[in-house]
Copies of this chain bind each other. A is one copy, B any other.
Amino acid sequence: MQKTITLAMGNGGTESSELIQKVIYRHLGNDILAKAEDATPLPTLTNPCFTTDSFTITPFFFNGGDIGKLSVAGVCNDLAMMGAKPKFLSLSFIIEEGFGLREFEKILRSIKKELAINGAKVVTGDTKVVPRGSCDGIYINMSGIGKRVANVTQSNIEEGDVVLLSGDMARHGASVFAAREGIELANEIESDCKSLWPVVDGLLQELTPKAMRDATRGGVAAVLNEWAAATGLCMEIEEEACAVDESVQGICEILGFEPFALANEGTFVLAVRSEEAKRALEILQRHNPKAAIIGRVSRSYPGRVVLKSPWGTKRFLDMPSGEILPRIC
């Protein structure tokens, strides 16, 4: 077999089946995928949740992950955030002619590893190869079906609820930016890219979380603003409670980035009834000691997010706008 992906591998004929059978199935094959024809029959699904995400990140390999790990984590996290256990995934590649088969297999191995963490399977797929220059290396789309085991939604949020953050902010954005720009600190900053089902499962075993949202594009600022807008309530956040790693803070200060607006890929915001806050924090800290209670839901400024400093001053945190970091995911 060739050492790079060729146009012929996207032709729907001999070379396509060779790539699918000898490479993709070798890593990701399973009993359900084996029955796939034009579509894949699945068992009956009760309380399903459905989501999709395309990944165009550059570089494909970054400190803490790669586009394969990111794809599985990204889609499974979207399910987990709704209280749904990830089950069945689709996997679609758009690959640029000439992409290395070795890199492709490395991505497949990451996908396999991350699937296991979620207990999910790839059950249907598609591979397109486009001529050189028509895409930048490799793009991945994954769609996912999960089984909803708890009614987690932003519409549960009420005045008095407590808001937690599952770890320190902005690692993914800062690490990708640093890697891309060749900044010296790059190796010190590891992306938070991670599947959240294990920690979510832990929460759901004991508690009844009201809302969860992973803080991807737009960061923690986007999540809090969406919740404030959707509920008409105020998210009152203690700025100092939101952890930021020192190297991440360094990059943000040099470049004028707001850590609240930078992307995360394995860090989420959680709203719980105040009675559950302490136990929720303990469970989160088992997975990440930097998890913290960061604020509460009030009626002070309806529909707005307020950041409070340790000195008692307040500022509004707005929905991010403009684009500082394209192709972050």
Contacts and interface: CB of A to CB of B under 8 A. Distances in A.
Given A40-B49, A41-B47, A323-B7, A56 B12 contact: no
Contacts of A128: 54-56, 327, 329
Contacts of A249: none
Interface in A200-217: 213-214, 216-217
Interface residues of A, number: 84
A81 B320 CA distance: 44
Interface stretch (A83-91, A182-190, A274-282): A83-91
How many copies of this chain does one complex carry?
Answer: 2
Contacts of A48: 41-42, 44-45, 48
Contacts of A123: 50
Contacts of A139: 94, 135, 139
Contacts of A221: 13
Nearest to A146: B39
Nearest to A137: B134
B131 A39 contact: no
Contacts of A97: 326
Nearest to A125: B52
A96 to B, nearest CB: 10
A130 B327 contact: yes
Contact of A90 (B37, B52, B56): B52
A126 interface: yes
A153 to B, nearest CB: 6
Contacts of A125: 52
Name which of A16, A90, A133 has the most chain B CB atoms within 10 A of its CB. Answer: A90
Contact of A54 (B58, B78, B84, B141): B141
Contact of A135 (B53, B135, B153, B319): B135
Given A11-B321, A13-B319, 9 more contacts: A12-B263, A38-B214, A44-B48, A45-B48, A52-B91, A54-B94, A54-B126, A133-B136, A135-B135
